[in-house]
Structure formats: structure tokens, C-alpha cells
Structure 1
């Protein structure tokens, strides 16, 4: 039967339609996203360098922050460079490239999800149980949390990627191969795919978000009992930074993946995706460093080449 849909072996490439088809807006979008990408890379690299080379920042909080910065760089790099190339040239991506992009975005977005949860747990222990902080947050636990988060993210991404079986509709109304959009082109069982997507999103995203909310509820309760106004301000400042990043990331992720079967506006989905794939990654270095005296001091040392390297001390 010639009307049967082709499976993935017959699909050579997809066409990414991008954020807009307006040719006059393309140069503006190119410049905006190029600027955002360069700021993201530079800002997050500075965070990693500061944490690596300043002995005073070798603490669990900054260890997780450097991992978050690395994840932000990877997450942006999986989507933005290809988007910039597509604005300038033909808007296409190979079948293998598309599935690789789906997989990579799921891995790094999932890892970022767990890192935000782990960072909230770290702040909870530091503020609510300060006397046992160094005992609980020992190097073995830090490595275990990172490896476990990465392992779960890889398995989750693998499950979704292996279930994709794309048919003949090769146009993706997006600037990258997002799972929510690629699922609409699949000829495998869409009900099963959606069920797995909702289940995984609710389990991993829901549990992590619940943990973050619980941690910060306990932190706020602890802060309100503090006698020192200066101490309250410092803790509120740090926790406010974490919460603002978390709400931006989770709000847009849930907006995209919970609403995608019901929305027909691809442009709204694409804009929402920018809000969790590009904006938080660019803002994280500013949010975590500009209001943090220790981080600002470390960045100043790097700029002035006054670094301390434990290996040579």
C-alpha cells in the first residue's frame, strides 16, 4: 500500500520553521539570540572558573552551582547554535540530528531539574540544620547526588527517544526539535507516548518541585525566627535568587509539556520554550553572582589574576 506512512528509515531530514517566517525579523532574531548565547557561555564559564579557582568557594553550594552552570552551557549549546545556523541558511536538520537534539535537551533539562532540587535541599540543611551541615553534605553524598541525577536524566531521555517513530510530515513549527513538537509527527501510539510523557513529567518534575517548595517553606519558617535583621536579609537574598530561577524554569516547562496536546499555537509554544531553554541559562550567572558577595569577590580575583589553586598551595 503506497499510502502507508514511512518509518524513520525513509525520513532523511526535518524542516525547522523557527520562531517566525518574517524575513525582516530574521536578522533581529539572529542578533538577539547570538548575544544571549554569548552572554550565557561567558557568564557560566566565569562561574565555573570562580568556583574552581577560589579556595573559599569549595563548598557544597558552589559545587552544585558550578554543575548548574555547566548544564546551562550544554543546554543552550544543544539548541541555540543550530537555530542561528538555520536563520542564516536552509532551515533543516537531519533525522539523526533531530533525535540527538531531543535526547540531549531531555538529558540536560532533566539534570537541571534535579540540580535545582538538590540545591534547595542543600540550602534547607544549611539553614535549618547548620550544626550537622558538614556531616550530612559530605563529599560522598555530593557525588552520589550528582551521579544519581545524571543517571535518572539519561534513562528518562532514553525512554522518550526510543519511543519516537516519525512519519512523513517533516515540518516542525519550532526553532529546535522539542519532544512536544516531534510527538505530534509520530506514527507510533500517541496515547502511549503522551501517557509516558505525563507520567515522567509529573514524577520527576512534580517530586522535585514539591521538594523545593517544602525546603523553602521550612527555610522561610526558620528565617522568621532569626533575631538578626542582617541575617534574615542575607538568607532571603540567597533563597530569593534560587526561587526566582526555579519558578521561571518550572513554570515554562510545565506550560509547554502540560498544554501541548491542547494548544494549536506553535508560536506560543516556541516562545515558552525560549523561556526555559534560553532565558534562565543566561540569567543564572547574574542571579547567583550579582547578589552574592563571595562570588563577586571570586570573580574580581579572576579578573585581576589573584587566584588561589589548592594544587599548588
Structure 2
């Protein structure tokens, strides 16, 4: 029995892989290793996994259904953790076609393979971006999500709708996880915490959008991984009339102001940043905050890492591992 992990070279995927391997699972990782951000970072994450005999990797694009079918034909896979997707709110405005291929066609392919191969359970990545223009906080899974303000958010909302349809029609057990601003070591260079750290250490000014009046429910990677594993182990119950599809928020339930994050990074680095305040960017939202009461009750999910501790861990990694190795990324 093996777990198929899509997006294995990604930030969340590589951390989930390490956790699954640590508990003795056999993991088959797939990723297309695209160049949305520094491919050497993805390869470095993979290199940490390749030494484990229970891990195998295949360079596959989830939009390629035939490649996926060939892989399934060779291996007995009983569960799927589907984290592969084209990420990035702002990039989705510039290049929507990439999101159609990966997030729509790719997700549909994974659903169809889960159905055809009678997968016991598939956990997939959704996003807080589905809440779009909602102004009521905290965001609850029962809130309407009919107003995505980014194309990325629209594709993630579509993933949830497709999943619900598959669960209803074919009784495929599916769990969607709405991630809230995940950060930490080995993270994504397009995220604000990485960009700010990189720019401060290289003496460049910070672009602060909406003139700093923004807030996020920053969620540390270890807490997110814990939620993913708990969801994987908690398959939705299939009943005669029920639909085996459940959606959960995975956040920290402790939103922080953007400028608070900037101050924490400055303090940790011992350097004051030059700040350039700009207007809100198209597709962005002012604040996010996850209501995690459903995940607490049903999964036992209980995030523990504060933003201050999490940023300290990231900066220690960035300065001591990534930057020390002479690696630099180009921030978008």
C-alpha cells in the first residue's frame, strides 16, 4: 500500500512527505518541477527525501492524464494527498492559462483516477482564497464563497465543487483543506515573509501594499502538516444518503497585522527596513482569519506555533542554510 503525494517538491508537500516517511508510510511523490520559482529550491527539498527507501519520485505533470494512468498501472496506491497546484494570487492575473491546466484539468485528472482506482481517501489542497471578498471574520466553512477576487481563488473554489460532485456521484471519499498563509523553513520565495527577509538582508526597500493596512492568519508549516495528516487519517464517512466530502479550514486562529510581521522580521535581523507604501494590489484581500472550530472538533487540530517563533525559525533557516549556501532567489 502506498500514498501518492502530488506536489512532493513543493513547500507543504515536502514537509508532508517527511512526516509520512517518519511514520513508516510508503510515499510516491510526483511534481512537474516548473519554474514558477527557483527550481533549485524544489530540488533541494527533494534531495532530503531521496535517501529514504520508502520514497520514490516521478517527474509528472498532473495535467497529463496518460502519465498518471501509467503510474497507477504500475503501483498499488490506496490513498492520495493531492497538493500539486499552480500557486500565487497575483501570478494568476498575469497567466490564467497555467491555472486552467494545473488547477482545473489537473485536479479533474486526480479525481478521475481516484474514482477509477477505488482510492480509499483523497485529501486535497484548497485555499483561504476561496473566501474572496468576504468581510465577515473569522471565515467559516459554512460561509458563502461565491465572490473570489482572484482567478487562483476561483480555481480552488472550482476544485471544491468538482470534488463534491465526485463524492456525490461516485462515493469517492474526499477531504478539502483551506490553507491560510502557510510559512516556515523551506518555504515559497513569492510569499511576503520570504520577500521581506530577502530584501532586508540585501538592503533593498520593502513594497508594502494597501499602505500596510492588511492582516493575515499566518500558519506555521508544522501546524499545517499536522492538520494534513489528521485529515488523511480521518476519512469522511460514507452513508446511504450522505456525501463523503468534508472541507476544513487550517489556520492559526490568531491573525496578525502585516506591519507586526515586518517589525518581527526587522527585530530578528537587527535591521530597520526602508518601506515604500503602495495601494492595494488587484486580486488581494485586506484580511484573513480562519474559524478552525470544525477542524478542532472533528480532527483534533490544534495549532501551537506563534508568528514570532515561526518567523524566528524561518530566518534561522534562511540565514543559516539557504543564504549560507550562497543561494539567492529572485522575488516576484
TM over 0.5: no
Considering only CA atoms, is the larger Rg found in Structure 1 or Structure 2? Answer: 1
Query: What is the TM-score of this pair, normalised by structure 2?
Result: 0.24
Q: Hey, which of these two has a bigger chunk of strand by percent?
A: 2
Question: When the two structures are superposed, what TM-score results if normalisation uses the length of structure 1?
Answer: 0.25
Q: Which has the higher helix share?
A: 1
Greater RCO, 1 or 2 (C-alpha within 8 Å, sep 6+) = 1
